[in-house]
A = this chain, B = another copy of it.
Amino acid sequence: MLPSALNDLIECLGRLPGVGPRTAERYAYFLLKNDRVISKNLANALDKLHDSVKTCPKTFALISEENELSPLYDSPDRDKSTILVVEEPLDIYAIEHTKSYHGTYHVLGGAISPMDGITADQLHIKELIDRVEEDSVKEIIIATNPSVEGESTAVLLEKLLHEKYPELQITRLARGLPLGISLEYADQITLASALNNRTKI
């Protein structure tokens, strides 16, 4: 019933995560109603995407085509003796926004998840273990997500790293109350962690 070009666009937009047919329709109609420059810019950005973004062979962060290594590893400002380990490349930018970290990163490329068929072999764990020696790393901060998959991955990483480098300091992000959540709404596990890891004031 809809013009085929509009239908095609709705179908393509419906592939995006969490976008159902109604949302896809709304996006498509917005693009159609507005200046064609918006659609053209989006089309150009999509065309360039895969050729202009590559993965850093050392940290597995996303980097521009013209870079050899991630600037967050390569720069002399970054302390190579600390590695913060994340699941996905975009997690790096969440940490960078805090402006509280000056070490390097390592992207695992996911978390162990037998349900989704993701095993430890598919993650960049071996490369992380190699980096410890190459860069004389003193501390590994494990910043996987606080999910079942993230926690299992953290446990495995700790085991593998500790076996090979008993001297290496291995830490993980603190669990506690996030800003703006009142006590009565915090879940039990978070609250228990916040209590156990209480800090002196």
List the interface of chain A (C-beta within 8 A of B).
1-6, 8-9, 11-13, 15-19, 23, 25-32, 36, 38-50, 52-53, 62-65, 72, 88-90, 93, 96
Contacts and interface: CB of A to CB of B under 8 A. Distances in A.
B9 A62 contact: no
Contacts of A88: 29
A63 B9 contact: no
A17 B26 contact: yes
Nearest to A28: B49
Contacts of A49: 5-6, 9, 28, 31-32, 36, 39
The secondary structure that dominates the A interface is helix
Contact of A46 (B11, B16, B40): B40
B63 A3 contact: yes
A19 B16 CA distance: 12
7 contacts: A5-B49, A13-B42, A18-B26, A32-B53, A39-B49, A43-B47, A46-B46
Contacts of A28: 49
B17 A64 contact: no
Contacts of A53: 3, 5-6, 32
A72 B3 CA distance: 12
A71 to B, nearest CB: 8
A133 to B, nearest CB: 28
**10 closest cross-chain pairs (CB), A and B:** A5-B52, A43-B46, A9-B45, A12-B42, A3-B64, A36-B50, A43-B43, A8-B45, A39-B46, A3-B53
